[in-house]
Structure 1
C-alpha cells in the first residue's frame, strides 16, 4: 500500500516560548545541542549584540578592549559588554551574529535579535543594519531594550527623550528597508502596583504607538551584582519578588501599553524572564518558574503572546545549564532544565498543527516562519513498540533541510544526511499497545536565508519542492537474538 501524506499547517501557540542563547553572561550554544536537550524547537532564539561603531576599541568586545581591574559592575565599560554586531556599515555578513542566525533558522526557528546601539549613528548605519536582516525571514528586532533604565551606554549618552526618538527613527527605517522585520519596544512597564503610569511613558508615548510589539523584562528574582559580588542575605545587589506579583506587574504593563495606544491591542511579550538561582537556589528556581507559567495558562484573557527564557547556558545561575568553569564548551544541567522541558511540551505553549488535504507528489512546502508554515504529515501504523524506526532520504531528498516531529519529539535533518533514527521517541515513552503515529516534516531554508527570487513574498516565504516521500523502516524485533 502506498504511503499517504497530508498537508499540515503550523500556526501560533496560545503563548509562544522563545529562548535566549548567548549574552554578556554566556556564549552561544549550537542549535543541534539545544534541540537534543529540549526535544523541540522554539518560536525564536534570542541573540544579544551591540553596535557602537564610533567608539574607540570597536569592534572588540568592551570587556576586552577596555579591560580594567577597577570595573565593579557589568555595565561599567565605555560601551555595552555584549558581543559585537559585525554587520552594519561596511560590515561582514560571514561573522557574528549572522552565522548563528543561519543556524537558528535552519533549525526551524525565527531570529529574535536584541541590539543595543549608539543613538548617535547616522541613518546610513541604520539602513545598512536593516538591509542585513532582509534575508532572515520573520525577524523580531528589539532595539535598545530596558530603555527606561540607567545602565546601558545609550542611556548614559542621551536623554530618555533622545533614546525614545532614536527608537522611532530606527523603526521607520526598518519598515522602509526591511518590511520582514518586526520591532520590539522594551521599557520598564509598571514596576509598582500603586503606580498609575509607566516610568518615562511621556517620553516613549510615540514609540509605544509606532512599535510592532510591546515588551517588558521581568526577573522574579535577580542578582544584578553578578559576577562582582556574592548574593548574601541582607545584601544590596539582589532582589526577590513572588511569581504572582511579577505576573501582575507584567499584566498591568500590558494594560497601560494598551491604554496609551488608544485601547488597541498589540502583541505583548516578556523578552527576558527567569528566576535567579543565586537568590533562591536552583531547586526553588525551577518550582517558581513552573508557578509563573501556571499563571499564564490559567489566565483566560491570554494577553501574553510569548516569553523568552533567559537563557540556555549561563556563566551564573540564570540558565537551563550552568557553564562548566573548567571548560566553557560544557554545560552543567540545572534542575530548571527538566522543569522547563515539561513546560514547553505542554500543548498551551506549542504551535497549533492543523491537518488539511491529502497531497499529490511532487508537493511544495512553504516555510513562512515558526508560526506560519505548511509541511506534510504521514500517518504510520505501529503494531507495537518498535526496536528500529528509521527515516531514509534517497538521492532526490538528500540535500533537503528538514525539521521532523513524531509523538511530540522533534528531529533535525541537515542537507547531506540520508538517515534519521527516530527511536529516541520510544525509549522514554514506549508504546504499550498498537497505535497510529504521524511523522511530520517542515522545510526551513537550507542555509538559513531566504533567496531573493523576485517574488513579492520572498522576504517572508521560502519554498521547497518535495519530489517524493522518504522511506520508513520499522522493525519490531532485533536483527538477531543473541
Structure 2
C-alpha cells in the first residue's frame, strides 16, 4: 500500500453531461445524484435567464405573471427559467452560483445556459464575465435554440441581431473570463434534401465561425405541449423520430459547421438529448437512449462527436431519470432509463481516461484543472475476497481536504468536514468473487467550488491541494465476532 502513483484524468472518447434543473424541474444536490449514479459527470448543465431591463425582474416568470393566462410554456413575457441573480446590482450568494459551487466541489465542470435579453448593455455582459471568472473551465451556452421562435430573446430582436449578439456577448464576457468557452446551439441541418445547409445559415454562419463549441439540441421524442395537454393519439403537440434519423442529422450538422469554418474542427456536442417518456412510454425511452449511444460507440467515423447532455436528472414530466413525486418535490421516482443510463456512463467509451504518470510520495500535491484535466494519485490495494468493512480515514492535518475518490468503479465525495468515508457501497452492486488487486484513485477539486486569484498565472484554470500523509485505509474480510 506504500507504492502510490501519480495519475492523470483526461477526456473520455465521448463525454457525458447531465442537466439538473430547468423550467420542468428543480435543482437536485450533487451528493444525491452521485450516490444514485455512482460517478461524477464531465459537466452539469444549469439553465437560467437574464432579462434585467424588465420591470418585474428578478422574479421568476411563473411568479411575476401568475395571473396571466398561459397555454404554452414559453408564453410568458420572459423565459420561465430560474433567474440569474448576479449581474449589475445582483449577488453571487444566490443562484446559479450556489449550484455552480456544488457542481465543482463534486469534481464536475459547469455548463451554464443563459437566455439573455439581446438589448442589455456591455456593462451587464462585463459583470457576467467578472462573476464567471472564478469557476474554472466552464462552458456558457448563450441564447440556445436560437433558430427557434419560442424563447423571448427571439421576439425582441431579428435572427440576424440574435446571431450578432451572440458574437458580441462572447467577446465581451471572455475579456473578463477567458476561462469560459461558449457554446452556439442552433437548429443545425434539418432538411438535408434541401442542400444540406444549417437552419438560417446566412444569419448564423459568422456565429458558427466565432464560437468555441458547436451544438444542437435533439429529442428523439418530445411532448412540447407539456404541461398544458396530454400527449395522446390524434394530438399535435408532440412528435418522435427514428433514432437513426436523429443521429444522422446531428452528424450532418457537424459536417456543415466544419465546412463553414473551412475544414477547421471544433468540439461538437448535443446540449440536450433524450426521448420523452410522455410519447414513448418508459420502456421505449430507455431503448432509444441505448440505441443512440450504441450508434456512437459503433460508428467507424470516430472523433466527430465530443459529448451529450442528458436532459435531465429529475423532471416533473417524463424527461428525467427520475420523475418528481407530485406529493413531495424533494423525492424522485426512478424510471427504467436510470439503469440504462448508469450502464452507459460506466462504459469505457463514455468514461474519463486514466493514465498513470510515475511514482509519487507523501506529501503529494494534486492539481485540479477540471474534469478532463486533473492530476491525482492512486493507491494500490489488495483484497483477499469481498470485504465486510472498507473505509478511509484522514488524519487531522488532511481532514479539511475536498476530495473525489474512486474504487471498484464507484466514486465517493469527501467534503472538508468529513474525516471517514465508507467505501462498502462500491461492493454492493459489484461484489468481488475472488482475490483481487485494485487501486483507490484520489482527486482534489476546489473545496469552495471556485478558483482563488492568488496571483499565479494559471489561477483561472488550476487549483492545487496537498495530501500530507497516507490516510488510514481499513479493510476487513469478516464481521466482528466479539
Query: Is TM-score (shorter-chain normalized) higher than 0.5?
Result: yes
After the TM superposition, which residues 319-358 of structure 1 pair with which residues of structure 2 at under 5 Å, given as runs? 319-358=320-359
Deviation at 1:174, TM superposition (A): 2.2
Question: Structure 1: 5+ residue runs without aligned partners?
Answer: none
After the TM superposition, which residues 238-253 of structure 1 pair with which residues of structure 2 at under 5 Å, given as runs? 238-253=238-253
Can you list the C-alpha shifts for 1:77-103, whole angstroms capped at 9, x where unaligned?
000000000011121000000000000
Q: Aligned residue for 2:76?
A: 77
Can you list the C-alpha shifts for 1:299-322, whole angstroms capped at 9, x where unaligned?
122211000000000000000000
Q: Aligned residue for 1:152?
A: 151
Deviation at 1:474, TM superposition (A): 0.6
Q: Aligned residue for 1:469?
A: 470
Can you list the C-alpha shifts for 1:179-236, whole angstroms capped at 9, x where unaligned?
0000000000011231321111111111111100000000000000000000011211
Can you list the C-alpha shifts for 1:109-139, whole angstroms capped at 9, x where unaligned?
0000000000000000000001100110001
1:101 aligns with 2:100: yes
Q: Aligned residue for 2:394?
A: 393
CA distance in 2, matches of 1:97, 1:69: 26
CA distance in 2, matches of 1:469, 1:349: 31
CA distance in 2, matches of 1:370, 1:91: 29
- The alignment partner of 1:90 has SS state of coil
Q: Aligned residue for 1:281?
A: 281
After the TM superposition, which residues 377-456 of structure 1 pair with which residues of structure 2 at under 5 Å, given as runs? 377-456=378-457
CA distance in 1, matches of 2:105, 2:297: 30
After the TM superposition, which residues 115-194 of structure 1 pair with which residues of structure 2 at under 5 Å, given as runs? 115-194=114-193
User: Residues 69, 167 of structure 1: CA spacing in aligned structure 2 closer, same or farther, 3 A cutoff?
Assistant: closer
Q: Aligned residue for 2:372?
A: 371
CA distance in 1, matches of 2:43, 2:240: 28
Question: Structure 2: 5+ residue runs without aligned partners?
Answer: none
Moved more, 68-77 or 139-148: 68-77
CA distance in 2, matches of 1:281, 1:10: 37
Moved more, 113-122 or 86-95: 86-95
Deviation at 1:70, TM superposition (A): 1.9
CA distance in 2, matches of 1:199, 1:7: 47
- The alignment partner of 2:115 has SS state of strand
1:293 aligns with 2:276: no
Deviation at 1:67, TM superposition (A): 1.4
Q: Which runs of 4+ in 1 moved over 6 A?
A: none
Aligned alpha-carbon RMSD (Å):
0.8
Deviation at 1:175, TM superposition (A): 2.2
CA distance in 2, matches of 1:238, 1:268: 27
Q: Aligned residue for 1:207?
A: 207
CA distance in 1, matches of 2:52, 2:173: 19
CA distance in 1, matches of 2:143, 2:96: 17
- The alignment partner of 2:377 has SS state of strand
Moved more, 2-11 or 437-446: 2-11
- The alignment partner of 1:399 has SS state of coil
- The alignment partner of 1:113 has SS state of strand
- The alignment partner of 2:23 has SS state of coil
Deviation at 1:69, TM superposition (A): 5.4
- The alignment partner of 1:428 has SS state of coil
CA distance in 2, matches of 1:58, 1:165: 25
Can you list the C-alpha shifts for 1:250-305, whole angstroms capped at 9, x where unaligned?
00000010011111100000000000000010111001100010011111222110
Q: Aligned residue for 1:309?
A: 310
CA distance in 1, matches of 2:66, 2:193: 42
- The alignment partner of 1:446 has SS state of coil
CA distance in 1, matches of 2:477, 2:199: 63
CA distance in 2, matches of 1:422, 1:238: 44
- The alignment partner of 1:251 has SS state of helix
Can you list the C-alpha shifts for 1:374-395, whole angstroms capped at 9, x where unaligned?
0000000111111101101110
CA distance in 1, matches of 2:72, 2:295: 33
Q: Aligned residue for 1:17?
A: 16
CA distance in 1, matches of 2:338, 2:48: 25
- The alignment partner of 1:307 has SS state of strand
Can you list the C-alpha shifts for 1:359-383, whole angstroms capped at 9, x where unaligned?
0221110000000000000000111
Can you list the C-alpha shifts for 1:151-189, whole angstroms capped at 9, x where unaligned?
000001100000000000011112211000000000000
Deviation at 1:425, TM superposition (A): 1.0
Q: Aligned residue for 1:269?
A: 269
Q: Aligned residue for 2:259?
A: 259
CA distance in 1, matches of 2:470, 2:149: 56
Q: Count residues in correspondence.
A: 480
- The alignment partner of 1:54 has SS state of coil
Deviation at 1:3, TM superposition (A): 1.9
Moved more, 226-235 or 140-149: 226-235
- The alignment partner of 2:366 has SS state of strand
CA distance in 1, matches of 2:13, 2:301: 11
CA distance in 2, matches of 1:287, 1:70: 37
Q: Aligned residue for 1:224?
A: 224
